[in-house]
Amino acid sequence: MVLTVGVDVHKGSHTAVMVDQVGARQASKTVKATDAGHLELTVWARAQATQLTGSKPGETGGVCWAVEDCRHVSTRLERALLATGARVVRVPPKLMAGTRASARTRGKSDPIDALAVARAALREPDLPVAEHDPESRELKLLVDHRESLLGERTAKVNRLRWHLHGLDPELHLPARGLGSLRRLDWLTAHLAEAHTGLAAELAAELIGDIRRVTVRIRALEREITARTQALAPQLLDLDGCAALTAAKILGETANITRFRSEACYAMHAGVAPVPASSGRSDRHRLARGGNRQLNAALHRIARTQARMPDSLGHAYYQRRIAGSDQDKDAIRALKRRLARVVYNLLQPTVHDHERAAA
């Protein structure tokens, strides 16, 4: 008998509910979201599996862990479970809503949510398996950090523009001009020469902050590019896929072998067609679920290829437009084809196995 443990994750605690193969609740446990709590949860699951299935103590083959897909609070738990050799699947939060609504127990609590996670995992056998490949995880951390710094720089640039407007309304800068170190240096010298007072001091302080963040962003981009070229140079040969987009794909994919097929990968990326037919109308619409970061990366590639006359994606896009498709339908279809291309490009090769063995 295979047991499923659904886990409702929170920043301070994790609640687990164990169910059997038909979804009947067998046991529950709440632990702190710490290393000691993770160990306690693993020991509890092994003991329950031994008691319910009669397996030998320490065996975990009959237990599948279903964790609510909340990356910032579930990542450490997933790593702890994977370190014990457990099988872990990620359950999108949207799958819990229908399960919770159809349950006989009314209301909402951590045990109710954990039970919904477990039953959703039983109902959806093709959920993506959790994987924490060190290389792709580090790349994702770098990409996320760069994006956080970009947001920080944008906020500082917006405040600086208002200070500059108050100092000199006729001082016009290009829309993205404050991302240039040379322009920032010129602006610093201009403020020191032409303006005094608190507003000028604050503007100069913001310029210094923007400069430091810009230098760090550029250093991150160089490091991300180098790591991407080492991990998946084949992605960079894909039309419209630059180093930062390739890094986003690698970080969000984690490990391509955890997907059973390219159709599962397309579903995970949110680019699989969603039926929207009614009566004599036979059509599909854009998917709103899936990994939106991965979806955005494929969307950038699709838009770029649609503008590149020499790319295969451009020819396909034009054929769809020449038919009855509108722009968004043609892009949706192109993204689905790109998911297949990316899936095949990321498949392990003989060279990859030899490099891993070395």
Residue 288: inside a domain: yes
**Per-residue pLDDT at 287:** 67
> Are 171 and 187 found together in one domain?
yes
**Per-residue pLDDT at 194:** 86
> Are 290 and 310 found together in one domain?
yes
Total residue count of the chain as it appears in this document: 358
Average pLDDT taken over every residue of the chain: 86
**Percent share of the chain, pLDDT over 90:** 51
Is residue 351 predicted with pLDDT exceeding 50?
Answer: no
Residue 226: inside a domain: yes
Amino acid at residue number 121: A
Distance CA 36, CA 13 (A): 12
> Are 291 and 266 found together in one domain?
yes
Residue 128: inside a domain: no
Tracing tokens 């390219």 back to the chain, one arrives at 262
Tokens of 4: 């499923």
Going by pLDDT thresholds of 50, 70 and 90, the confidence category of residue 241 is: very high
> Are 265 and 320 found together in one domain?
yes
Is residue 259 predicted with pLDDT exceeding 60?
Answer: yes
> Are 182 and 164 found together in one domain?
yes
Could you say which DSSP state residue 124 is in? -
Contact 342/236 with Cβ under 8 angstroms? no
> Are 242 and 217 found together in one domain?
no
Q: Indicate the pTM of the whole model.
A: 0.77
Report the CATH number that the domain containing residue 109 is assigned in CATH.
Answer: 3.30.420.140
Contact 232/342 with Cβ under 8 angstroms? no
> Are 37 and 51 found together in one domain?
yes
Which of 231, 255, 271 is a domain's end point? Answer: 231
Quote the domain boundaries for residue 119.
3-123
Question: What is the number of domains present in the chain?
Answer: 3
pLDDT per residue as tens digits for the range 160-199: 999 999 888 888 888 788 889 999 999 999 999 888 889 9
> Are 241 and 267 found together in one domain?
yes
Tracing tokens 């710094």 back to the chain, one arrives at 149
Residue 242: inside a domain: yes
Which of 81, 101, 123 is a domain's end point? Answer: 123
Contact 4/66 with Cβ under 8 angstroms? yes
Residue 83: inside a domain: yes
Distance CA 74, CA 33 (A): 9
Q: Which helix (H) or strand (E) holds 321?
A: helix 312-322
Residue 349: inside a domain: yes
pLDDT per residue as tens digits for the range 102-130: 555 666 788 888 998 999 888 887 777 88
pLDDT per residue as tens digits for the range 300-340: 999 999 999 988 899 999 999 998 788 988 999 999 999 99
Which of 209, 231, 253 is a domain's end point? Answer: 231
Residue 150: inside a domain: yes
> Are 93 and 152 found together in one domain?
no
> Are 291 and 178 found together in one domain?
no
> Are 276 and 330 found together in one domain?
yes
Distances (CA, A) of 72 to 11, 136, 144, 187: 9, 16, 12, 39
Residue 129: inside a domain: no
Contact 322/351 with Cβ under 8 angstroms? no
Interstrand relation of 284-285 and 274-275 (parallel, antiparallel or unpaired)? antiparallel
**Per-residue pLDDT at 357:** 41
> Are 7 and 43 found together in one domain?
yes
Tokens of 347: 């498949």
What mean pLDDT comes out for the span 50-71?
74
